[in-house]
Chain A
Amino acid sequence: MTDLPAQETSPTFLGMPSFQHAAEAALADTQQRRNLAHATATIRAKRAAAVGEVDGWEDLRLAGAAAKDEALHHLPHYLEQLEAALTARGATVHWARDADEANQVVVDLARAKATDEVVKVKSMATQEIELNEALEAAGIAAWETDLAELIVQLGEDRPSHILVPAIHRNRAEIREIFARRMGAVGRAAPDDLTDEPARLAEAARLHLREKFLRARVAVTGANFAVAETGTLVVVESEGNGRMCLTLPETLITVVGIEKVLPTFADLSTMLQLLPRSSTGERMNPYTSMWTGVTPGDGPQEVHVVLLDNGRSRVLADEAGREALRCIRCSACLNVCPVYERTGGHAYGSVYPGPIGAVLNPLLRGTSSEVDRSLPYASSLCGACFEACPVRIDIPSLLVRLRTQVVDEASGRSAEAASMKAAAWVFGDHRRLEAAQRAATLGGRLLGDRTIRSLPGLGAWTQARDVPTPPTETFRQWWARTHGDDEGDLDDARGQPVVEEQDLGGAGPHTRQEGS
């Protein structure tokens, strides 16, 4: 490892308890678990159907991984090419080493336009740097315009899923939030608002429209940035992205440096992989592409902020760098048995689920309790790798990170010693499977919610409650039930997106009748 600076663990998450402790509370929240189970099962089924339609899916995955690797292996080259292409087309490029620098750029640009508000497209990069908080501190209101992000923002809540950030909220809760909070920040919800999704969406449409029509500055992320042409791409479904990209005078796009694609032709691969993996749609309702400034059409002042914030550190880790291929489709979240039960908040980051469990410790280092615990937030079942459109080997990365966490711990405490044993067990899939089989047997005999020891883990489990393992391992369960998993098409209207947006509007096309 080089001594490249890590990203700071955000103040919001610094005090986070370990994943295991945060998950305890989440597991007790039956409403959330019910919402999550329904949502992930629905999206899983849709994704399986959409992927099943494509004959050469494995070739596409290989092409997707190859495009991202090409960009990552030669990142300085492609970033310079991107900068030159953007500048030639009238955009202004800014570079930001960390969150503070990126936030300062955006605050300064907004101030220069003498505005006290900006409209925002859902963007994980701007959540990562906590841009909204920075803008607020500067006296500038940042309005989230994705419906789910609006629910989260009005509810003074945190997103719990990459694609459907308000997946943990049901319609009654959303109605209550809209009725209580909309009036305080703009057009109030109608008095007779019901909890029907169509009525709730209509209230959001009216509330946000007045903000879109008057907005002068918009902030967005990007799903892809094409080095060859300088083209930026936003994938979404509601049209809030198009509103922000089109109506204001000034557009500021915050792009993680790993979002670069070498060529325009690479988009043909990514636009096949992303929607199908993400919302299970053949294509998301809207994708916007823009290259600098177009005279007479859209914002006439275009800024791009290229954000490092720990990414160079991940890139320096030869084994870990493949995590930067991630296109934030969220497929790995939806197939993860741990995520399905704990939800996104327990991960203590804007990047939850399996990819969060590897990306956060890589980006931020393992000095905080939550980052040290994340590599253990997995059953290592392998479903995330199978689902990942760019073939990130998340289970192997988790095992490696576990070893790293253990190595970093001193040998003084009993826990540290047993962690070494844990690493030994987790470090090899045969040992892990043997331990799982033994634990399964133990669970069957125990018939109790809690077990006190796991073969090979020794004293470690004495310090924590470990839920009784089910009577079969996840691998066994998957093998047995995978075929049935697509039976839930009745509710297959799921919609989720993508890093920077809401691939939000899941289409119904997996259902033949298209009702």
Chain B
Amino acid sequence: MSSREEILARLRLATGDVTSRPGERGPVPVSAATAGAAQDTLELFVKTVTDYRASVGRCTPEQVGAEVAAALVRARAHTVLVPPGLETSWVARARDAGLRLRADEAEDGGPLTAHELDGIDAVVTGARVAVATTGTIVLDHAPDQGRRALTLVPDQHVCVVRADQVVHDVPDAVALLDPARPLTWVSGPSATSDIELDRVEGVHGPRTLDVIVVC
């Protein structure tokens, strides 16, 4: 008997007492905090993100470029990664300020290697959805966010979130996501508390997370 068949046989034997059929628990019970007004959800998001020691800025659509440039300068970034589908006006001011913009493209036309990514200071992206109760942004790595490695290896991540992308609770976000895409949920910068529970930011992921909310 193959391992597969043997394990399945053991499990059928083990669950021989079960009389219900798969799925009979009924619709999946989903429990979520109820949203108030959209404005309350937005305020809550800003508060929870701030609690994570991420920096949060709010601006109008016209101000995004200036906010992005300011965040990059604050973290002393020199080279900035720009995903292929990013709104170009968001990084135009950064270029004017003298920062070097890089596409995810190596000399040979392929994507950047991990070592090349390691030499880049920051990345600017959009997001798929954001969660107010937890201060989380979710990336689905669409062209405005780039493949997963882009938001991982550089030391600063500047993420632009539209106000209409902010949902109230975790189930609202799960309902919007496509499981066929790779998904990364980010709540604050990389952190550890493994040493005497003292919190230290930035172990392997970006040490600085700037969230810019556009409303």
Question: Which of A's residues lie within 8 Å of B, judged by CB?
Answer: 2, 4, 35, 38-39, 42-43, 54-56, 59-60, 62-63, 66-67, 69-70, 72-80, 89, 94-97, 101, 145-148, 151, 164, 166, 170-171, 174, 197-198, 200-201, 204-205, 208-209, 212-213, 226, 229-231, 237-240, 242-243, 245-247, 257, 262-269, 271-272, 279, 281-291, 294, 296-298, 306, 308, 312-313, 315-316, 318, 321, 491, 493-496, 502, 504-509, 514
B3 touches A97 (CB 8 A): yes
Residues on A with C-beta less than 8 A from B23 are 70, 262
Using a CB–CB cutoff of 8 Å, the interface residues on chain B facing chain A are 2-4, 6-8, 10-15, 17-18, 20-23, 25, 28-33, 48, 50-53, 111, 114-115, 118, 131, 133-136, 141, 147-149, 152, 169-171, 173-175, 177, 179-200, 202-206
Please indicate which of the listed interface residues B3, B118, B147 has the most CB atoms of chain A within 10 Å of its own CB: B3
Report the bound CA distance from A79 to B6 in whole Å. 13
| CA gap between A239 and B192 in the complex, in Å | 9
Smallest Cβ-Cβ distance to A276: which chain B residue: B134
**Cα A466 to Cα B69 with chains together (Å):** 66
16 A-B pairs within 8 Å (CB atoms) are namely A147-B195, A213-B115, A268-B170, A269-B171, A279-B193, A283-B131, A283-B185, A287-B184, A288-B184, A291-B180, A291-B182, A316-B10, A316-B13, A494-B193, A504-B193, A507-B53
Nearest B residue to A228, CB-CB: B179
Assess the A54–B51 pair: CB atoms within 8 A.
no
Interface of B is mostly: loop
Are B147 and A298 interface neighbours, CB within 8 A? Answer: yes
CB atoms of A67 and B14 under 8 A apart: no
> What would 20 more interface pairs be, CB under 8 Å, given A237-B192, A312-B10?
A42-B197, A75-B14, A75-B15, A95-B7, A164-B194, A171-B196, A208-B204, A262-B28, A264-B179, A282-B187, A283-B134, A287-B183, A288-B184, A288-B185, A297-B148, A298-B147, A321-B14, A504-B191, A507-B51, A507-B188
A-B pairs, 5 with minimum CB distance: A239-B205, A495-B193, A505-B191, A239-B204, A509-B51
Q: Are B179 and A226 in contact (CB under 8 A)?
A: yes
Asked if residues B174 and A267 are in contact (CB atoms below 8 Å), the reply is yes
- By a CB distance below 8 angstroms, the chain B residues around A238 are 190-192, 203-205
Among A38, A226, A265, the residue within 8 A (CB) of B171 is A265
Report the nearest B residue to A312, measured CB to CB: B10
Given contacts A148-B194, A265-B175, A243 and B204 within 8 Å (CB-CB): yes
Residues of chain A within 8 A (CB-CB) of B175 are 265, 268
B187 CB contacts on chain A under 8 angstroms: 281-286, 507
Query: Is there an interface contact between A73 and B20, defined as CB atoms closer than 8 Å?
Result: yes
Which chain B residues border A164 with CB–CB below 8 Å?
Answer: 193-194, 197
Indicate if the CB atoms of A2 and B190 lie closer than 8 Å.
no
Contact B193 A283 (CB under 8 A): no
Verify A495–B192 contact, CB threshold 8 A.
yes
Chain B residues with CB below 8 A from A56, complex form: 31, 33
Complex: chain A residue closest to B25, CB-CB: A70
Is B111 touching A77 in the complex (CB atoms < 8 A)?
no
Q: Please, how many angstroms separate the alpha-carbon atoms of A167 and B11 in the complex? A: 36
| Chain B residues within 8 Å of A318, by CB | 17
User: Are B22 and A78 within 8 A (Cβ)?
Assistant: yes
Which chain B residue lies CB-closest to A506? B193
